[in-house]
Copies of this chain bind each other. A is one copy, B any other.
Amino acid sequence: MASLDRSIVANVPVLAGLNAADLDTILRDARSVRYPKDSSVFDQGAEAHSFFVLLHGHLRVEKTTPQGQQIVVRYVSAGELFGVAQAMGLKTYPATAIAVVDSVALSWPSKAWPQLIGQFPALAAGALQTVGNRLQDTQARVLEMSSEQVEQRVAHALLRLAKQAGRKVEQGVEIDFPISRQDVAEMTGTTLHTVSRILSAWEQQGLVEGGRQRIVLRDPHRLFGLAENHGKPDGERR
């Protein structure tokens, strides 16, 4: 199992820069767990007992306000470190992680973290980068929400999803897990209705192809144009 893990773990960015022996040491403390579709890996507000690396599948990370409003913070794909709440100084998870397809993750007890980074500085550096990237993404999202209209934001979101979890199909690029209009709305700060309208319009223009919890980008390039331009109907881009 350790050797199996080692090969799977080979392309986990945060563990890069560690030699085989160190990797073994680290993996010794890990447990591999299966999460069936729609089950939660951890829940917002729960004690942050573990941190994880996703080996297989996709997770949706969502955050809920006291009033019940919800947003999708991000999607986690295989190879990513997640659930590092404790390392960031939190006692509880700030969000909920849900498997959107059957998934498998390695988990470590949070209390092993201080010792691990003491022993393997590369791990700390990796974690810092992971969190740093996440911060960049989130700030970019704030910038988008402040400066772009809904249509552009949706276009950006879909392109990002396609990049992160796109699967080439005959028709274009399909997002590789079930995702509803509601989910897209919660990623872009709008409503289910507006997303539906936008996708319908795009479908008519042959930009995307939709379905129940399914989105295929037929013309990513033209979509990108939409995302960049100020929504100008075409012809007078600057």
* Interface residues of A, Cβ cutoff 8 Å to B: 63, 65, 67, 69, 71, 73, 84, 87-90, 94-95, 114, 117-118, 121, 124-125, 127-129, 131-136, 138-139, 141-143, 145-147, 186, 189, 230
Contact = CB atoms under 8 A, between A and B. Distances in A.
A125 B125 contact: no
Contacts of A124: 117, 121, 124-125, 128
Contacts of A141: 142
A222 to B, nearest CB: 19
B133 A135 contact: no
Contact of A65 (B67, B114, B125, B147): B147
If over half of A's interface residues share one DSSP class (helix, strand or loop), that class is named, otherwise mixed; here it is helix
A65 B84 CA distance: 30
Given A121-B121, A142-B142, A189-B145, A136 B67 contact: no
A71 B139 CA distance: 10
Nearest to A186: B146
A71 B144 CA distance: 10
A135 B88 contact: yes
30 contacts: A63-B139, A65-B143, A65-B147, A67-B147, A67-B230, A87-B125, A87-B129, A88-B128, A88-B135, A88-B136, A89-B128, A89-B129, A94-B136, A94-B139, A95-B139, A124-B124, A124-B125, A124-B128, A127-B128, A128-B128, A128-B131, A131-B131, A131-B135, A134-B135, A135-B135, A138-B138, A141-B142, A142-B142, A142-B145, A145-B146
Contacts of A186: 146
A185 to B, nearest CB: 9
Contact of A71 (B87, B125, B132, B147): B147
A133 B88 contact: yes
Nearest to A73: B139
Contact of A135 (B129, B138, B143): B138
A79 to B, nearest CB: 16
Given A69-B143, A94-B136, 13 more contacts: A63-B139, A67-B230, A69-B146, A71-B142, A87-B128, A87-B132, A88-B128, A88-B133, A90-B132, A117-B121, A121-B124, A138-B139, A142-B189
